[in-house]
Amino acid sequence: MRNMLYATFTLGAILACGGCGGGGSSAPSGPPQNPAGLWAGQYTNETGVNKGSYPGFAAATQNGAIFCAINYNPQAPTGTAGGGANVWSDQLKIDSSYFTGSGTIYYEVYTTTNYWDGSITEGSAIASTWSDPDGDSGRVDMSFDALYNRPVAMSSLAGTYTVSSAFRNIGTSVVFQTNGTFASGVISGTITQVAPTANLFNVAMNFSGDSTDYTGFAWWSDGQSANFVANSLYLVWAGGASWGVATLSNSAVGSLEIHNESGQNITGIWIAPHPETAWGSNLLTGTIADGSSLSFANISPGSFDGQVQLADATYQQDIDVQVAAGTTTTFIVSK
């Protein structure tokens, strides 16, 4: 009989299923499903010592790189004895909607390999089974979260965040700069956007006094998803034999989302306090395609004027837009 430390560790295997799917002996035909997205759901241990279902989430890119996190004791404070999270990372091997893999599970200073197979329905669901070398097994069911399709301007993430939860000490606050660099007294690193249309960032970071290079993902929660805390940056990372997951919050601010329904690209965006006396610099570094959106985070509550420039060189304005703390205000650019 395994001791409880090891049992909790193997429970993290549930996390591996994050990449898992409801499997089968033969791969269906058709083009590969795109696993890119933010996913949230339940991880279940069906045969191990710690039987039960536990909440978790995953972030994945189009090429199948995936990081998952699971809270195996939601009733206990994260990072304390008896509570916390595990992290799993790997590269999915996808053939049509069928995939297999053997990922790395991180628990404290221990690691192990987990095996899974399952299916992905692009932009909808992941259903999977999992097993580990010790004979434990279970399943995971996750749904796609549309938060992934609401990209945020990286420069607008600049600010000071309170570390509201973390499994591994990263300090009490983390400061992000407009160029994507960040630091606390414990960590330093950079974020870079995975794709212009995705609310997902690659993370490269280091701990003070630790030569290990850590990689992972980050994303911004705008308050429109029930799966993630509003006005928060989520970080998940792993490297060497260690890992972590953290929620960084800034509850005193709101967000402004620009949604393009104009039938053409948006080529410029200006936001100024109301009443506008000087528009300042264009906040847009690329374009926003028709049918797409872009959010600006960390906006102090108040009244603002917004202006966009379209590809045909015309302008639209929205005057006296109210932004409240903990909420997202939407500016729809129409035809």
In a shared domain, residues 118 and 158 = no
In a shared domain, residues 165 and 140 = no
Distance CA 16, CA 102 (A): 8
> Which tokens in the block code for residue 103?
């990922």
Distance CA 302, CA 324 (A): 7
Please report, for the domain that includes residue 16, its CATH number: 2.40.128.120
In a shared domain, residues 35 and 91 = yes
* Signed CA dihedral, 114, 120, 125, 127: sign only: negative
DSSP 305-327: EEEEEETTS-EEEEEEEEE-TT-
pLDDT in 10s for each residue of the chain, 335 residues: 222 222 222 222 223 333 333 334 344 556 778 889 999 998 888 886 667 788 889 999 988 888 888 765 544 444 333 345 677 777 778 888 887 777 776 655 456 777 778 888 899 999 888 877 777 788 888 999 999 999 999 999 999 999 988 878 899 999 999 999 999 999 999 999 999 899 999 999 999 998 999 999 999 998 889 998 888 999 999 887 678 888 998 878 888 999 999 999 999 999 999 998 889 999 998 899 999 999 999 888 999 999 999 999 999 999 999 999 888 899 999 98
In a shared domain, residues 138 and 190 = no
Give me the pLDDT at residue 49, please: 63
The residue among 249, 280, 296 that closes a domain is 249
Kindly give the pairing relationship between strand 93-95 and strand 37-45: unpaired
Give me the pLDDT at residue 12, please: 29
In a shared domain, residues 111 and 42 = yes
* Signed CA dihedral, 237, 239, 243, 244: sign only: negative
Nearest to 287 by CA among 219, 156, 197: 197
In a shared domain, residues 235 and 265 = no
Distance CA 200, CA 222 (A): 13
The residue among 146, 177, 212 that closes a domain is 146
Q: Starting at the edge strand that comes first in sequence, how are the strands of the sheet with 302-310 ordered? A: 266-273, 302-310, 315-323
Q: At 103, which helix (H) or strand (E)? A: strand 98-107
- At residue 154, the 3 state secondary structure works out as helix
In a shared domain, residues 153 and 142 = no
Give the residue numbers spanning the domain of 94. 4-146
In a shared domain, residues 214 and 301 = no
Please report, for the domain that includes residue 181, its CATH number: 2.40.128
In a shared domain, residues 180 and 138 = no
Please report, for the domain that includes residue 280, its CATH number: 2.60.40.2890
In a shared domain, residues 309 and 263 = yes
Instruction: Reply yes or no: is the peptide bond before residue 275 cis, omega within 30 of 0.
Output: yes
In a shared domain, residues 83 and 119 = yes
Give me the pLDDT at residue 165, please: 81
Length of the chain: 335
The residue among 200, 219, 249 that closes a domain is 249
**Per the structure, how many domains does the chain have?**
3
Distance CA 35, CA 65 (A): 9
Give me the pLDDT at residue 189, please: 97
Cβ(143)–Cβ(54) under 8 Å? no
Cβ(223)–Cβ(328) under 8 Å? yes
CA distances from 167 to 79, 84, 123, 201, 306 (A): 5, 6, 29, 20, 39
Nearest to 107 by CA among 216, 215, 14: 14
In a shared domain, residues 11 and 107 = yes
